[in-house]
């Protein structure tokens, strides 16, 4: 047993002195927020690193989804996945839209494109899939359905910085992608997020929505709110961004090691990627039954190892806030899936130990 708990994740943090060096600029300028120089620099560097045309940095990933819905002026039904964090669905509802749940593909754990069309009604305005655990959705199939039915596409790319599709950042796809820079994500600003679009005018609109609907002259030209990221958060993002490639490579190695250690276990199965390349941001394991999962959690917890049941329960069953709609695959998977610890400072020995605890259970 370890003294310190091993959590499902730990933030990747740059050396403190590199962060402090950036903070000195904030102390010197006195600019703490309102699209200051460090926010702009973070946006520029994210565009360069990920080869994106634009990046609008915002306060968190949830507000990024809300801003995307607002910018596209959506009112009506939005087809989304129930296998997600509650934020995907609460953002839809906060923007006055209705979530319609489409079941998932049991292999990729993403929305199943083959099930989308049956859910389209005259009130459908958009599709909002999630690149679950960084695994890219089948963006081509989704785009062709959207084109055929004249629907907008917003990707919840909260997990997906560093994931690619056809060699391009997955954040380039859809009318808008919304990502998260939360402490638990591959790249973090403690709290933070971003909206990404290819469309110049939409990009300008997103910037206005982030800042109360102000234009450059501070006139209020449309409905907006406060979605700003602070300079303190942007400084952390800039410090951490230098290490993004190392972190991605490290996750990939650790993910592959887990797979090697666990893939012969007949009681377990794993997320499959479709066409794109994941960023390996989580290591989800699907157990043969919920009972086995609960046993694994008990054994791991006894050793001070704290995995997490992402995503459980399936969001279509949150009947206090959504109308129940059946999605049997998502409900089944959500009961049997567990994310094992995976982060920069996790040692290879700990991964071997965790895999060993699981393998010796059965």
Which stretches of the chain bind ligand T4K, using CB under 6 A? Answer: 7-11, 60-62, 84-85, 87-88, 130, 156, 158-159, 180, 182-184, 193, 306, 308, 310
Q: Among all chains, which residue has been given the structure tokens 């989800």?
A: 284
DSSP for 250-298, please give it: HHHHHHHHHHHHHTT-TTEEE----SSB-----EEEEESSHHHHHHHHH
Closest residue (Cβ) to ligand T4K?
Answer: 61
Q: Which lies closer to ligand T4K via its Cβ, residue 60 or residue 334?
A: 60
Smallest gap from Cβ 345 to ligand T4K, in A, equals 10
Smallest gap from Cβ 293 to ligand T4K, in A, equals 17
- Please state, in angstroms and rounded to a whole number, the distance separating the CA atoms of residues 224 and 169: 28
Q: Among residues 115, 104, 113, which one has the least CA distance to residue 144?
A: 113
* Active-site annotation holds for 70: no
Smallest gap from Cβ 188 to ligand T4K, in A, equals 8
Q: What is the CA radius of gyration of the chain?
A: 20
Active-site annotation holder among 24, 70, 147, 185? 185
Q: Which lies closer to ligand T4K via its Cβ, residue 86 or residue 220?
A: 86
Q: Indicate the angle between helix axes 244-262 and 348-359, nearest 10 degrees.
A: 30
Q: Which lies closer to ligand T4K via its Cβ, residue 62 or residue 269?
A: 62
Q: How far is CA 260 from the centre of its chain?
A: 25
Smallest gap from Cβ 200 to ligand T4K, in A, equals 25
> What DSSP element (H or E) covers 88?
helix 86-94
Q: Which lies closer to ligand T4K via its Cβ, residue 229 or residue 358?
A: 229
Active site residues: 185
């Amino acid at each position: 047993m370890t003294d310190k708990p091993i959590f499902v994740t730990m933030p990747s943090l740059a050396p403190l002195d590199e962060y402090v060096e950036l903070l000195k600029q904030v102390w010197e300028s006195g600019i703490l927020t309102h699209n200051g120089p460090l926010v702009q620099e973070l946006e520029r560097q994210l565009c360069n690193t990920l080869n994106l045309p634009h990046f609008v940095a915002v306060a968190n990933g949830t507000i990024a989804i809300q801003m995307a819905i607002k910018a596209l002026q959506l009112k009506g039904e939005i087809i989304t996945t129930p296998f997600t964090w509650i934020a995907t669905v609460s953002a839809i509802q906060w923007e006055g839209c209705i979530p319609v749940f489409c079941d998932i593909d049991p292999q990729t754990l993403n929305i199943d494109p083959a099930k989308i069309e049956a859910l389209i009604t005259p009130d459908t305005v958009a599709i909002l899939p999630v690149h679950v655990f960084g695994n890219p959705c089948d963006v081509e199939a989704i785009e062709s359905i959207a084109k055929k039915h004249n629907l907008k596409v917003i990707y919840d790319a909260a997990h997906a910085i560093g994931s690619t599709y056809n060699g391009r950042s997955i954040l380039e796809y859809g009318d808008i992608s919304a990502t998260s820079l939360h402490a638990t994500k591959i790249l973090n600003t403690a709290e933070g997020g971003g909206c990404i679009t290819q469309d110049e005018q939409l990009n300008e609109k997103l910037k206005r929505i982030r800042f109360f609907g102000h234009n450059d002259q501070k006139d209020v030209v449309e409905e907006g709110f406060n979605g700003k990221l602070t300079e303190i958060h942007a400084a952390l993002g800039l410090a951490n961004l230098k290490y993004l490639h190392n972190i991605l490579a490290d996750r990939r190695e650790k993910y592959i090691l887990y797979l090697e250690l666990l893939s012969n276990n007949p009681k377990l199965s794993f997320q499959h990627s479709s066409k794109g390349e994941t960023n390996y941001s989580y290591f989800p394991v699907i157990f043969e039954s919920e009972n086995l999962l609960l046993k694994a959690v008990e054994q791991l917890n006894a050793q001070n190892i704290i995995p997490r049941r992402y995503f459980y329960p399936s969001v279509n069953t949150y009947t206090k806030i959504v109308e129940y709609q059946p999605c049997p695959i998502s409900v089944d998977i959500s009961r049997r899936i567990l994310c094992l610890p995976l982060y920069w400072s996790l040692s290879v020995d700990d991964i071997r130990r965790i895999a060993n605890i699981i393998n010796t259970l059965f």
